[in-house]
Amino acid sequence: MEYSPGPILSNLAKALEKQYRPHEAELLWKVAGYFDDALPAPEFTDFTSLVKMLTANEAEYLEPIRQAAASTEAKAADRGALRAATWGGKVNAIQKSLADRYAKKGDELVEGKKLFVCEACGFMFLGDQAPDICPVCKAPALRFATVA
Amino acid sequence: MHAVRNLRLCTKDCVCLFVCPTGATDTETGQIDFEKCLDGCRRCVDACPSHAISLVMDNYPARPAKDKAVADALLNFMEQKHREEALAKALAASASTPARAKVAKALAASLRILAEDGAREAGYMIPQSTESKAFLEKLLAQRPSVAGKQFPEAELKELLSLL
């Protein structure tokens, strides 16, 4: 396959859940699960490597989306792709900040606190309780998953 | 189109029971009986005082075709986020403390959501779309191997027959 099937499949499985097709969703989750560990474990496993990757994303992966999606004609612009790049840019910055702060401070950073992830856009929050509204995508608090 | 109840919004005023001509809204699970629900009737949708009932489509419209350059840029982003997710998962698996595992797990979850968003905007928004079905057919034909796992052929075939 040209691209990794995992995220494509899990995205489609979530779409089936939103369509209230539980049986089809279950089948697709099974197919998606097959690819859960399809990517080989990376050579370097430290937070600093992750910070490096996240730092390069803005120029290497997000700006190309914006350039391809923007058009001089408003009607031809792909606003869905621009939306993905807008949210993606903000969430990528948060991911980078958290990985970087953890790389520097270690466990002390998160001790006694909970980590929340917005299931709609990926926004991450470190604190005692989830925000009332996601600052990136405006989803309500109930869309936040708590990572224990 | 049949009606679905959002159980989080439902305030149990049960007005939907008064207006449903087939009794589809009165079930032991709390969800509307799709088999009994009349196509496009929507009486319960309009009657619900809490706006907890909506209609779901049986057929979804074709979406505007994606420009190839835009789709490629989004899929490259997806791929990069997926690589980062693999790194975060490896960090979680090898974490020496629970706090370290927690940070890595949260990052892996967040990274997966961004990867999925890239896929969604690249043309894989709806499972019933031509692009999504073609992708699933290709998967079935190619059967990519994953070490130590058996390809879920039966599930994929059944899914394709239902979409």
Whether residue A121 and residue B113 make contact (CB cut-off 8 A), yes or no, is: yes
Q: List, for residues A117-137, the tens digit of each pLDDT value.
A: 999 999 999 999 999 999 999
* Same domain assignment for residues A99 and A118: no
A107:B113 CB<8 A:
no
CB contact under 8 A, A8 and B119: yes
Instruction: For chain A, positions 83-102, list CB contacts with chain B under 8 A.
Output: 83-84, 87-88, 91-92, 94-95, 98-99, 102
- CA distance readout (Å), A60 to A53, B12, B107, B122: 10, 51, 20, 17
- Sketch the domain layout of chain B as residue ranges: 1-58, 68-144
- Interface contact A77, partner B, CB < 8 A: no
Q: Which site among A2, A4, A18 would you substitute to test the B interface, given the most B Cβ atoms closer than 10 Å to its Cβ?
A: A4
Contacts of A32 (CB under 8 A, 6+ apart): A5, A6, A9, A10, A12, A13
Instruction: For residue A124, give both structure tokens.
Output: 């991450």
Nearest-angstrom CA–CA distance, B72 and B80: 12
Contact in structure between A34 and A4 (CB atoms under 8 Å): no
- The token pair that represents A80 in the structure block: 């869905």
Residue A48 sits in the same domain as residue A91: yes
- Cβ atoms of A119 and A144 within 8 Å: the answer is yes
At B47, phi and psi to the nearest 5?
A: -85, -25
State whether A4 and A32 are in the same domain: yes
Q: Averaged over A23-29, what is the pLDDT?
A: 97
d(CA A75, CA A79): 9
DSSP assignment letter at B25: T
* pLDDT of B80 higher than 80: yes
Largest CA distance in chain B: 61
Fold of B1-58: Alpha-Beta Plaits (3.30.70)
| Mean pLDDT for the stretch of residues B88-101 | 94
What is the residue range of A54's domain? 42-105
The rounded distance, in Å, linking the Cα atoms of A11 and B117 is: 8
User: Cα A47 to the chain's mean position, in Å?
Assistant: 17
Contact A133, A103 (CB under 8 A): no
Mean of all residue pLDDT scores within chain A: 93
Are B103 and A110 inside 8 Å of each other by CB? yes
Residue labelled with tokens 């909506």? B54
CA atoms within 13 A on the CB side of A40: 4
Residues A54 and A94 occupy one common structural domain: yes
Cβ-based neighbours of A28, under 8 Å, separated by 6 or more: A9, A12, A13, A16, B127, B155, B159
Band the pLDDT of A57: cuts 50, 70, 90. very high
Q: Are residues A60 and A76 in the same domain?
A: yes
For the residues B69-98, what does the mean pLDDT come to? 95
- Cβ-based contacts of A110 with chain B (< 8 Å): 99, 102-103
Which of B74, B139, B159 faces A84 most closely, judged by CB atoms? Answer: B74
